[in-house]
Each structure stands twice: as C-alpha cells, then as structure tokens.
Structure 1
C-alpha cells in the first residue's frame, strides 16, 4: 500500500469515527445552551443559580468521567485482538466504577449549599443552587453510565448511535424543560427543580437507549452477563488508567474556571464578554474533542495489533486534520466577531456596545489559542490510546496550574492587561501543555512502543 493510500485511509477512518462524535459533542453543547436560554427567560436568579450549580455538577462529572474514557482505548485494544471476553470485562468494570463514584458523591450534592457559601457565593444563589443540585445529583450515576457505554460503542467504531442518542436528547431536554420550568401543558411550575428533572430525564432516556442498542446490536458480547460479579483484576486496571484521566480533565476545566473568577474581578461587562467568547471557543473545541476521541480509538486499535507504523501515520493525519479545523475556526472568529457575539446579546441591552467591544478582543484571543488548544486535546487523545495517563496528568497539572493560572494573574493584574492578559495566560498554559504532551507522545511513547512491539 502506498503512503498516499495509507493517508487517505486514515482520513476516512478518522472521519468515520470522528464526525458522529463531533456531532454528539455539539448536540451535548446544545443541551447546555437550551438550559441557559430557558432559565434566562424564567428569571435572572434561576439562571445564576443553575450556572453555578451546573458548574458544580460538571466538575464532579468530569472527575468521574475518567473511568468511562479509560474504557475506550482498552476496548479498542481488546477488539483488535478479537478478545470479546476481555472487552466485556473492561466495560463491565467501567460501569462498576462509575456507579460507585456516583453513589459515593451523592451526599456532596445535598451539602452543596454550605460548600457554595464557602466559595463566596451569595446566600440566595447558594440556596437556589442547592435546590437544583439535590435533584440533579441523582443524575450523576446514569450520566456516567451513558458515557461508559458510549466509550464502548465508540471503541467498536459504532459512533453513529452515539450521535443519534445525543441528538434525540436535545429535544427531550427542551420539551421537559419547557413543561416543568414554566408549568406549561398542565405541568407544575418547578423553576430550577424543573431544569434538574429535565436533566435526569435526559440521562435516563439516553441510558435506556444505549442499553437497548448494545443488547440488540451486539448480542455476541453479552455485555451485561454476570454484571453483578466483581472482577478485581480488570477493576484495578480501569481504575489505574481512569483516575489520572479524570484528574487531567479536572485540571483543564479548573483552569477555565479560574479564568472566569479572575474576569469577575474586572467587572460585569468583562465577565459577560468572557462568558460569550468562552461559549464560542467551547463550540470550536468540540471539533477537536471529537477528533481526539477518534484518535484514541485508532491508537488503541494499533496497540492491539502491535503496529507502531500504523499508529504513527494515523497520529500525523489526526494532527493535520486538527490544525485544519483550527485554521477554519480562527478565520471565522477573526472575520465575523461581532455577528457571533451579537447573537448572545439582546438588541435592547443597555451595555450591548460595551460587551461587544470587550468580546471582540477576547474572541481574537480565542482565535490565537485555537491551534494550541486543538494540539493539547489531540495529544491527550493519542496518549490515552497508548494507555499513558499518569505522565499526562502531571504535565496537565504543571501546564494549567503552575504556568497557566499564574500567567493569567500576572498578565491580567500585575501588568494591568485586564481581560486580554487573563486570556494570554490561558494561551500560555495551553501552549505549554500542547508542547509537552506532543513531546511525550512522539519522543517517549512512540520510541517505547516501537521497542516493545519489536521485542
């Protein structure tokens, strides 16, 4: 096979796996956007409390998601070796770990009010957020279980079902939100509790959907066979791989959370502009995230076949595709900043012009970090495919918290660059992560795996 044919094959494979995953991530983004819009229509207090409560939930979800993400490369490797027993054992223990995590953290949701007060939130916001979280907390376990099963299906390159399950969840969420937040169609008006019930409904509908698909489409895997039986060897393997992934994700999310706190110090206009620019940057990030997931599957498959050359070629193609996505996003942000930002602001908003002026500058900063943000998440995907998660966890901690956060503070407040300085700090942290993670994959892991596969 020629190199050109090999490259086109990698492109087709990455698109076949990655495009449905990208669509699924964008649909998931749409669910959060729907919540934000509807709660904004209901009341400012409800919106503020669920933004805080949703962030609280998301941090815990991201930490627990490491076990689900760990399932992806392990199942891809087992599938490449045609080991259906190991494939089932890995997925089953991923379900176990996610369930245990969700149950153990449930009390935190009931104590969220005092925790949020300790984080300097106002009593009104903390109380209303606790009302939301005491209901939404019951959705953590099903949300994590859905993610485990999505990882299992993605590893088997059955990503279309992952896409459709998430797409169906968007209107379900909107309909239940509309009924329960506002009390429409004879339903009780529940406000923030209605939004929480809608979230749980979506999570259980999604869980039922992926379970039915897995049982009917892949009966040969007998996925839920002896689900009650512990498998401590594989349990430990998934735990060792998954915990560092969860902590890595947490480090990255907390970098952006810290930037939001700093932007809040600069005032309401800067914070509003930051929130909108970050939403747009997050939407572009979904492209890179889906491609990163696809890269994890492809590298995990190459691990199972012990084919370092295939892994190397696939990684190069994935990087080139990510840079192409980044180039397009950069052009859009630079050429159309005001229409993009204006879509999030009411035409009659008194502070509209001030928010747009601040947001345009921040969107230029978002354009600046498209390439490094794509590179760092893609590198993490490649490393996870190699089942290398502890080193990346350390690199993430150093890059995001020892470089990114201090740089944001120094540039924003010591050098008095304001919001631009905070975002330059984000660029600095993401650049450090991209360089160090790519170095680890190409120099450390690829050399190690070439020697291992030859031996």
Structure 2
C-alpha cells in the first residue's frame, strides 16, 4: 500500500519535475490547475477510503453478502461523485483559474492543463474504488501492480508530449496532463480485469446487506459520509490553502508547489501504515477478537508509526539538501526557499503519523463522527484562516506559511490520543 501510494503521489511529482524545465510560470500553472482538480479527486478518494474500511469489516466477518453490498454501493457512489465533480470543473474551473492566477501567462497554461486533466477524474472514480475494495480484502499487491504498469506509461508519454519528440507536436504543460490520462486508462483496465477474478463469484451471491439495493446504498452512504467528510475536508482545505499560496510571490508559490508533492509522497510511508492499521483493526473487530489481541496489535503498529516518521523525515532531508541538483533549471531564490523548509519538515512527520494511527483506529471501530470533528475544526477554524492571514494580511514568507501545518497537528494531538487510550473503541459493535 505504501509503495502504491508513493507511486500515486509520484505522478504529481513527475509532472512537476518534467514541467519545471519549462520555467516557473509553467510550474505555477500545474500547481494551480492541480489544486482545482484536487477538490474533485479529494472527494473520490474520501469515499474510497470509507469503502476500504467497510470492505475490511465485511472481509473480517467473512460475509459474502456484506462484501457484495460494499462493492456495489461503493462503486455507485464513486461514479456519481466523479461525474458531479467533472460537471463542476467544467462549469467553474476556468473562471476560478482566471481569478486566482498570478499572471495571464500562468492562467493560459493552467487552463490548457486542466482541460485535459479533467479526464483523469473519471478514471480515478473507477480505479480508486476498485483499489479500496482490494485493499480491504487484503489484496494490496494488485493496486500496486496497476501503478507499476501505469507509471512508466505516464513518464514516457509525458516526456514525448511535453517536448514533442517522435515527430509529435510539443504540447507543453498539456502534454503532462495527457500522459496522466493515458496512464490512468491503463490502470483502470488492469484493475477491472483483476477484480473479475478476485470478486467474480459475488455475482452469484443473492441478496443485499439490507432488504434491497436502495436501502443498502443509503446505509453505505450513511456509514461513509462522516469518513468521506473528513477526507474531503482535508482535501478541500489543502486545495484552498494552495489557492491562497498563489497570492505569494512567484518564487514562493513555486517553492511551495515543489515541496507539497514531496510532503505528500514521502508522508505516505507513515500515512499508509496508519491506513493499513485501520484496515487490520476493522478486520479484527469484524472477527470479534479479544481486547488483548487488539492492544498488542495497536502497540506494535504505533511503534512502527514512529519508525515510519523517522524514515519520512530522512527522505525530506534528502530532498531539501538535493534541491540544487533536482531543480537546477529554477532560479536560486526558489531553491533556497525549499532548503529553508527543512526544520519544519524534520518535525512534522511525528505528530502527523501518531494522529493518523489514532484517527484510523477510531474510524475502523465506527467512531467516525468524533474523528470527523477532530479533523474538521482545526482545519477550518485554524489552518485555513491562519494561512489566509499569513499570506494576505501579514505578508509572511513561505517558511512561516508552511509551519501552519505543524501547528495544526499539535492542536489535534490531545483530542485523538485521549480517545484512543480510553479504549472504548475496542468494545464498539460493527454497524449494520
């Protein structure tokens, strides 16, 4: 799961790296367009995360009707969310770019990128849902294999289409988006084929978790909505902050655009460990394992989370120290800003990883409303307003703006850890 998530975030890093050779304006355009598309992709990933936990509960209970219901309901919701999001991007994406872009050149490039990248949304709606089902069933290698196929396709197609090799036109930033579209098509085809082999027998299973599919869909939505709201809020608040970053100077915005994907990509080491912890906790609860088993497992998972946080800090250290070599085409000021982020990046993985363990453990037990509140309020009452004040009012530098992420994790820390240590999550019944 970790390697798969790194590859997934690596797609954004690859796009940014390949486009960086076109200059700061192209890089800022990709960051702006990706921020807008990220609203919809965040919604898709949010509901997929909820489906992953629901599938793990069904897999732990060894209930084929439950598994069939989770797959059918989850796929229906994911497609509806993706199509609604595609419509919203088509209606409001271009005006938003015109409003937020720091220059007409950046706006034009961002429009070119987003017009193509919107096609990725449909593929992600299907691919993320299938991946979540497979992860919940313990088949975590198959989503990884899908990215092992699609990532080289993305790199090769993006290079050719950005620069116009092999006799093809040079599409610039739009070429990077076309590379992502072709790659996601390859990924979805592979996952769909594998799903028929893993879950094909569910077509012979009669009945639904509830008396009919409509009620099953409503029940799945009711369970998923708090989890999806949590993930969607995180994605939306992140993208809102990214749009606010566009009001910084071009070099500061470019530096934050560069480091953001690296934070996400390296952070998956700890985040996927926490998500895997939640999946296994859900399976253990579905099997009604004794509390002693849950305690032993969670203690070992927590130790692993701190080791993962140390690995993330080391990876970010390497990225910052290698900025001059990785991004030699950018101006010295942009590269020096990336190096200035280092003190924050060395500390951030530890509270973030521990909070993630708590959140996923509570979510696996069905304590989704509490987790939703702990995530939502620090985001919308602290992180977004603090970012807006720092950028728009106090004209703070990029380093201070990035430090707001660390303070947000510190605010969530006591609320999460008190809830987990009290132990009520071990005695909660899996909801119908």
TM-score scaled by length of structure 1: 0.83
Number of equivalent positions: 426
Q: Is the 8 A contact 1:412 1:421 kept in 2?
A: no
* Bigger Cα displacement from structure 2, 304-313 vs 392-401: 304-313
Per-residue deviation, residues 206-240 of structure 1 (Å, max 9, x unmatched): 1110111121244333399999xx81222122222
Rounded to whole Å, the distance in 2 between the matches of 1:272 and 1:193 is 18
Partner of 2:234: 252
Alignment of 1:92-103 (within 5 A): 92-103=72-83
* Bigger Cα displacement from structure 2, 105-114 vs 414-423: 414-423
**1:332 deviation in Å?**
5.5
Which of 410, 414, 425 matches 1:431? 410
Residue 220 of structure 2 corresponds to residue 238 of structure 1: yes
Partner of 1:171: 152
**1:359 deviation in Å?**
3.0
* Bigger Cα displacement from structure 2, 263-272 vs 85-94: 263-272
Cα gap change, 1:273 to 1:408, in 2 (>3 Å): same
**1:407 deviation in Å?**
4.6
Partner of 2:324: 342
Partner of 2:378: 399
Alignment of 1:260-409 (within 5 A): 260=242, 267-307=249-289, 308-331=291-314, 333=316, 339-346=321-328, 349=330, 351-352=331-332, 354-407=333-386
Residue 128 of structure 2 corresponds to residue 151 of structure 1: no
Which of 52, 59, 71 matches 1:79? 59
**1:66 deviation in Å?**
1.9
Partner of 1:197: 178
Rounded to whole Å, the distance in 2 between the matches of 1:53 and 1:30 is 17
Which of 100, 112, 116 matches 1:131? 112
Rounded to whole Å, the distance in 2 between the matches of 1:287 and 1:266 is 30
Cα gap change, 1:236 to 1:434, in 2 (>3 Å): farther
**1:257 deviation in Å?**
4.2
Rounded to whole Å, the distance in 1 between the matches of 2:11 and 2:380 is 29
* Bigger Cα displacement from structure 2, 415-424 vs 107-116: 415-424
Gaps of 5+ in 1: 1-20
Q: Is the 8 A contact 2:78 2:125 kept in 1?
A: yes
Gaps of 5+ in 2: none
Per-residue deviation, residues 365-386 of structure 1 (Å, max 9, x unmatched): 1112111111222223223322
Per-residue deviation, residues 159-199 of structure 1 (Å, max 9, x unmatched): 11111111221101112223333332243443344333322
**1:259 deviation in Å?**
4.9
Q: Is the 8 A contact 1:78 1:87 kept in 2?
A: yes
Partner of 2:168: 187
**1:107 deviation in Å?**
2.2
Rounded to whole Å, the distance in 2 between the matches of 1:190 and 1:277 is 25
Cα gap change, 1:60 to 1:305, in 2 (>3 Å): same
SS in 1 for 2:131: helix
Rounded to whole Å, the distance in 2 between the matches of 1:384 and 1:436 is 14
TM-score scaled by length of structure 2: 0.87
Rounded to whole Å, the distance in 2 between the matches of 1:412 and 1:43 is 23
Rounded to whole Å, the distance in 2 between the matches of 1:144 and 1:225 is 26
Rounded to whole Å, the distance in 2 between the matches of 1:192 and 1:306 is 52
Tell me how large the CA RMSD over aligned residues is.
Answer: 3.1
Cα gap change, 1:191 to 1:224, in 2 (>3 Å): farther
Cα gap change, 1:123 to 1:423, in 2 (>3 Å): closer
Partner of 1:58: 38
Rounded to whole Å, the distance in 1 between the matches of 2:349 and 2:15 is 26
Q: Is the 8 A contact 1:338 1:360 kept in 2?
A: yes
Cα gap change, 1:225 to 1:168, in 2 (>3 Å): farther
Rounded to whole Å, the distance in 2 between the matches of 1:337 and 1:132 is 26
Which of 46, 68, 77 matches 1:88? 68
Rounded to whole Å, the distance in 1 between the matches of 2:277 and 2:299 is 10
